[in-house]
Amino acid sequence: MTIVKLNENIRFIRRQLGLTQDQFAQQLDIKRSLVGAYEEGRAEPRLELLQKIAAMAGLSVDLLIGRDVSQLKDYERKSLRAKDVVVITVDDDRKDNIELVPQKAAAGYLNGYADTEYIKELPRFKLPILNQGTYRAFEITGDSMLPIVPGTIVIGEWVEDYHDIKNGKSYILVTQRDGIVYKRVFNYLEDTGKLFLVSDNRQYAPYQIDGTEVIEAWSAKAYISVQFPEVNTKNEMSVEQLASVVLELQQELQTLKAAKAKKKSS
């Protein structure tokens, strides 16, 4: 991205916040002349200042420097807020640990996920077979993802940008409404701002959530269990079948909305 694009983003954000250059400078703890230089493209903010500007706008730094902010949808601004960093712990060699969120800590995690002291209190371990990245482990509940049984520990890799969520892949989502859920996800953020969550156990109906409800997303990479899964071939569903189910659900929702709109107008 060129500096010209960045300066347009900074100007747009300031105006959206309803601030003068002087007020904007005061909130950023810099001189007003610097705000003018950034907006005119005569200078470029350092990373620390970019992080402040992004936080004020409810954006990630990646969006601030990589996208036309004026064209972003509301859910992109809200759902990606404060996703530039994730709290982790490291070992004596400065290598990342994998923190474990057990079932009994799941409720507390909704409040403590960004709290360094809370994360430090979680159990942690290493798994050398994983590629370099940021990982977290969650002990899942319920039988909606059979043959993955309750009590299984699912290890996920941090997803910084929700647009990277791949259709049909399984994710651990930390959500405002439902807490921590482990589901197969279909990504319709670009079209509707929604994610469709599908269980491998067909006894559970798929459902959708708004992108703004997602606090964290972790792409499932491995699992640890003391029980070997028993595959029921009659209950298996391919990714293609799951996608078909999601499509049918969307069509049904559109039909219901159209019928509701028609009823109101009559």
What CATH number should be reported for the domain holding residue 152?
2.10.109.10
CA atoms of 266 and 262, how far apart (whole Å): 6
pLDDT higher than threshold 80 for residue 22:
yes
The answer as to whether 89 is a domain residue is no
Distances (CA, A) of 97 to 6, 112, 133, 137, 157: 35, 17, 10, 10, 12
20 and 66 in a single domain? The answer is: yes
The answer as to whether 83 is a domain residue is no
Contacts 24+ apart (CB under 8 A), 21-24: none
Choose among 106, 131, 103, 61: nearest CA to 215. 106
Weakest mean pLDDT among 11-20, 200-209, 231-240: 231-240
Choose among 27, 28, 20, 69: nearest CA to 45. 28
37 and 146 in a single domain? The answer is: no
176 and 235 in a single domain? The answer is: yes
**Can you tell me the mean pLDDT for 50-61?**
80
pLDDT higher than threshold 60 for residue 82:
no
CA atoms of 264 and 91, how far apart (whole Å): 61
153 and 208 in a single domain? The answer is: yes
139 and 241 in a single domain? The answer is: yes
pLDDT higher than threshold 70 for residue 74:
no
Q: Provide DSSP, 57-106.
A: HT--HHHHHHS-GGG--HHHHHHTTT-S-----B-TTSPBPEEEE-GGGH
62 and 185 in a single domain? The answer is: no
What is the pairing mode between strands 179-188 and 207-210? unpaired
pLDDT level of residue 88 (50, 70, 90 thresholds): confident
pLDDT level of residue 265 (50, 70, 90 thresholds): confident
Distances (CA, A) of 201 to 122, 194, 263: 30, 22, 36
Instruction: Give, rounded to a whole angstrom, the gap between the first and last alpha carbons of the chain.
Output: 50
* pLDDT reported for residue 232: 56
52 and 124 in a single domain? The answer is: no
Choose among 213, 173, 181, 168: nearest CA to 194. 213
67 CB contacts (<8 Å, ≥6 apart)?
Answer: none
* pLDDT reported for residue 195: 93
Q: Cβ distance 173 to 181 under 8 Å? A: yes
Q: Name which residue leads in pLDDT, 239 or 131.
A: 131
212 and 129 in a single domain? The answer is: yes
Q: What are phi and psi of 39, to 5 degrees?
A: -70, -25
Q: Is the peptide bond before 102 cis (omega within 30 degrees of 0)?
A: no
Q: Name which residue leads in pLDDT, 109 or 73.
A: 109
pLDDT higher than threshold 80 for residue 229:
no
pLDDT digits (tens, 9 = 90+) for 126-153: 998 898 889 999 999 999 998 899 999 9
Domain count, the chain: 2
Beta-bridge partner residues of 179: 175
What CATH number should be reported for the domain holding residue 68?
1.10.260.40
* pLDDT reported for residue 122: 95
Range of the domain at 152: 98-245
pLDDT digits (tens, 9 = 90+) for 174-187: 998 899 999 999 99
Choose among 87, 107, 85, 81: nearest CA to 99. 87
117 and 34 in a single domain? The answer is: no
The answer as to whether 153 is a domain residue is yes
pLDDT digits (tens, 9 = 90+) for 184-221: 999 988 778 889 999 999 899 999 998 878 889 999 99
116 and 219 in a single domain? The answer is: yes
106 and 227 in a single domain? The answer is: yes
Q: Is the pTM of this model over 0.75?
A: no
pLDDT higher than threshold 70 for residue 12:
yes
Taking CA 196 as the corner, what is the angle to CA 190 and CA 201, rounded to the nearest 5 degrees? 155
* pLDDT reported for residue 169: 96
105 and 22 in a single domain? The answer is: no
* pLDDT reported for residue 242: 73
C-alpha dihedral over 36, 23, 1, 5, to 10 degrees?
-60
The answer as to whether 264 is a domain residue is no
The answer as to whether 254 is a domain residue is no
SS3 (DSSP) at 143: coil
* pLDDT reported for residue 3: 44
* pLDDT reported for residue 231: 58
